Amino acid sequence: MSSSPLRLLALAIASIMTLSAAAPAEAARKRSQRPAATQSRGATKAKPRTAPARPAPRRATPAPLPIRQDKATQLNRIYDEYWDASMRLNPLQATFQGDARFNDQLPNFLSAASRQQSHEFMVEWLGKVEKLGAEGLQGQDLLSYEIFVRDAQVSLAGEQYPTWMLPINQYYNLSSIIAVLGSGAGAQPFNTVKDYENWSKRSLGIQPLFDQAIVNMREGKAAGVVQPRALMEKVLPQLDAVIKPTAEESIFWGPIRNMPDSFPAEDKARLSAEYKRMIEYRIMPAYRALRGFIATEYMPATRTTDGMGGLPNGQAWYAYNVSSSTTPARTPAEIHSLGLKEVQDLQARIATQMKEARIRGSVQKVFNNMRSDRQFMFRDPDALLARYREVGQRVDAALPALFNQRPKAALEIKPVEAERALTASAASYQPGSGDGQQPGVLYVNTNDLPSRKRWSVTMQYLHEGMPGHHFQLGAQQELAGLPRFRRHGGDVAFVEGWGLYAESLGEEMGLYNDPYDHLGYLQTTLLRTVRLVADTGLNAAGWTRQQAVTYMVDNADISAADAAAEVERFMALPGQTLAYRVGEIKIRLLREKAQSELGQRFDPREFHQEILKDGSMPLDILEAKIDRWIASKKA
């Protein structure tokens, strides 16, 4: 899925805020709703009641609740308390979740004290949940237990790896995240005078946070845990883009420039003066200090190695990244082999499709033509939007054969707003409301029209709209009874795996009858698949950066520049890209297993409903759930 900026920021900040608990990779597995937090341990014991002066009237003794229901009630109360505690400790996380209570706070979540709090939190809350245990739980109650315990265990297992020593790279640059928040373009609201005051107070935490990042990177230097030089060279321009000589030239002046007209004149004047001082004497010095440290002290210490094998205990660290972002059953070597096989299969399918469609020429020539020929471009934005709506009608007609339920919320197609168009992806999805009153929206970017190809529309609609994210996230929105730690997030391997699986259903639904639509889908899938090989090759098999680039160029028909950018992503976020295709392949294999074991009793509509009806979850828990479903169908 092409994530919205807000969603990307949420994932980014989640990865930074859980540095003590997991690797910096988006954390494929690290869901944005799984913050590290703590709660007060000083619970007050209830005092014993004084005996009544006269006997109380006898009342009928209520029948005891069934054990399962009573335990589920207790666990749901724990999950609720856990979520509130996590929001209190992680104010930025709360902001990204739309919880505005702590918008004026920015604690030093990179500090050793914060890491200790994170550890104590996980141990405490995991202990509370495991003390009750899973015996007798069923349905959503069992899934909630399994997901909570697995997440906490994964976080604790990751504490042995010093991710906190690597707080900055060009993909997840702490300073860039802060800049977007303070610009008014992110999750930090700037609608009221109080909102403006909140950011001013929150900015007090920027310098301590940046100073802590410097301390952590110095410790990383001493321990040999440093970033590759190629990555940090990209960070300096990011910092330079933020650092300005005056407040008015800064990105942080955006809220003042866009201050609501409804504000009283005295508040406008006060806030303008306050923000000028804040930017010039508080924020800019922090950015300059960070930039100076990276340029003069950190850069000479960066490593010349490329993959995680160049870090102390890097192989085990990468294996942890892989298992936490995909499933414990998958090792880097297994994913590497899986990727090699899938690449060969896709290359053969592309050759077959070209032969059957009588498309002549080399694969490279054909795809170059698909990228440059005007027949695959749109004459104007309306034509692009019309194409999406046309595909939507075709999808709608084909859905009943594969799905017996759909979200309550309708799906609308809208162009991306002009102010977001320069940075927005080609297509993205915004969920509607769980009650169906607000529709989901498939946003189409009509900017840079020559880059929007006709052959890409079908697969993008399937992925972002129906039956992709609109069906999966829409169904999850309707699960009002889920604990908030499940409702407000998603496992990346599941969410994006479903999106890719939805694209693949276009073949079964007869939607790729245009041979170029089909080739576009196959080629895009091939690019996602070579990532499995190149990421694991670079980080586990000892490949150099150039070996990974060469493999991608030779096997995915992409330019050397595009391949180099992909490989830098593998260097910055080791294992992050694996979750997408691994998730899709797992769903496909579960379907094949269900078809094999159920035979004529298999109904794809029931299978898809079983996949979606409980919301997002880790792949191993999904597999166990589907196994139970298969067993129930065979009984």
Answer yes or no: is 601 within a domain: no
Q: Quick one: 116 and 240 in the same domain?
A: no
Predicted local confidence at residue 417, as pLDDT: 87
Contacting residues for 588 by C-beta, under 8 A, at least 6 apart: 501, 504
Q: Is the pLDDT of residue 474 over 90?
A: no
Domain count, the chain: 3
Indicate the pLDDT class of residue 330, thresholds 50, 70 and 90: confident
Answer yes or no: is 486 within a domain: yes
Predicted local confidence at residue 185, as pLDDT: 86
Measured between alpha carbons, how far is residue 499 from residues 55, 89, 295, 436 in Å? 64, 33, 40, 21
Answer yes or no: is 77 within a domain: yes
Predicted local confidence at residue 292, as pLDDT: 98
398-421 pLDDT, tens per residue?
Answer: 999 999 999 999 999 999 988 778
Task: Compare 567 and 62 and report the one with higher pLDDT.
Answer: 567
Mean pLDDT is lowest, of 26-35, 143-152, 363-372, 530-539, for 26-35
Q: Quick one: 156 and 172 in the same domain?
A: no
Q: Is the pLDDT of residue 36 over 80?
A: no
Q: Quick one: 342 and 261 in the same domain?
A: no
97-106 pLDDT, tens per residue?
Answer: 889 999 999 9
162-208 pLDDT, tens per residue?
Answer: 999 999 998 888 898 999 999 998 899 999 999 999 999 999 999 99
Q: Quick one: 119 and 192 in the same domain?
A: no
Question: Where among 161, 180, 210 does a domain terminate?
Answer: 161
Taking the alpha carbons at both ends of the chain, their separation in whole angstroms is 37
SS (H, E, C) 576-600: CCHHHHHHHHHHHHHHHHHHHHHHH
Predicted local confidence at residue 152, as pLDDT: 94
Mean pLDDT is lowest, of 62-66, 463-467, 583-587, 609-613, for 62-66
Domain that holds residue 94: 1-38+66-161
Arithmetic mean of pLDDT, 318-322: 96
Answer yes or no: is 386 within a domain: no
Q: Quick one: 296 and 247 in the same domain?
A: yes
Arithmetic mean of pLDDT, 123-136: 96
Mean pLDDT is lowest, of 303-307, 436-440, 576-580, 595-599, for 436-440
Task: Compare 478 and 243 and report the one with higher pLDDT.
Answer: 243
Q: Is the pLDDT of residue 69 over 80?
A: no
Q: Quick one: 19 and 155 in the same domain?
A: yes
- The residue length of the chain stands at 635
Closest CA to 251 of 158, 327, 188, 314: 188
Predicted local confidence at residue 16, as pLDDT: 36
Q: Quick one: 473 and 357 in the same domain?
A: yes
Indicate the pLDDT class of residue 328, thresholds 50, 70 and 90: confident
Q: Quick one: 299 and 150 in the same domain?
A: no
Q: Count the helix, strand and coil residues of the chain and give each as a percent rounded to the nearest 5.
A: 65, 5, 30
Answer yes or no: is 314 within a domain: no
**Residue 634 structure tokens:** 């065979």
Predicted local confidence at residue 97, as pLDDT: 86
**DSSP letter, residue 60:** P
Answer yes or no: is 72 within a domain: yes
333-370 pLDDT, tens per residue?
Answer: 999 999 999 999 999 999 999 999 999 999 989 999 99
Predicted local confidence at residue 422, as pLDDT: 80
**CB-based contact 125:38 (threshold 8 Å):** no
Indicate the pLDDT class of residue 475, thresholds 50, 70 and 90: confident
242-275 pLDDT, tens per residue?
Answer: 999 999 999 999 999 999 999 999 999 999 999 9
Answer yes or no: is 606 within a domain: no
Task: Compare 64 and 15 and report the one with higher pLDDT.
Answer: 64
Beta strands 427-430 and 440-444 are antiparallel
Q: Report how far residue 535's alpha carbon sits from residue 576's, in angstroms, rounded to the nearest whole number.
A: 9
Indicate the pLDDT class of residue 477, thresholds 50, 70 and 90: confident
**DSSP letter, residue 483:** -
* Element spanning 427, H or E: strand 427-430
Question: What is the identity of the amino acid at 487?
Answer: R
**CB-based contact 201:260 (threshold 8 Å):** no
Closest CA to 412 of 442, 434, 435, 438: 442
38-55 pLDDT, tens per residue?
Answer: 332 233 333 332 333 333
Q: Quick one: 192 and 266 in the same domain?
A: yes
Cis peptide before 162 (omega within 30 of 0): no
Question: Where among 140, 161, 182 does a domain terminate?
Answer: 161
Predicted local confidence at residue 133, as pLDDT: 96
Q: Quick one: 100 and 232 in the same domain?
A: no
Question: Where among 528, 549, 579 does a domain terminate?
Answer: 579
Q: Quick one: 493 and 571 in the same domain?
A: yes
Q: Quick one: 86 and 198 in the same domain?
A: no
**CB-based contact 23:14 (threshold 8 Å):** no
Predicted local confidence at residue 21, as pLDDT: 30
Q: To 10 degrees, the CA torsion angle through 155, 157, 159, 165?
A: -90
Instruction: Kindly report the average pLDDT of the chain as a whole number.
Output: 88
Answer yes or no: is 613 within a domain: no
**CB-based contact 424:5 (threshold 8 Å):** yes
Most confident of the ranges 12-16, 333-337, 358-362, 422-426: 333-337
Predicted local confidence at residue 48, as pLDDT: 30
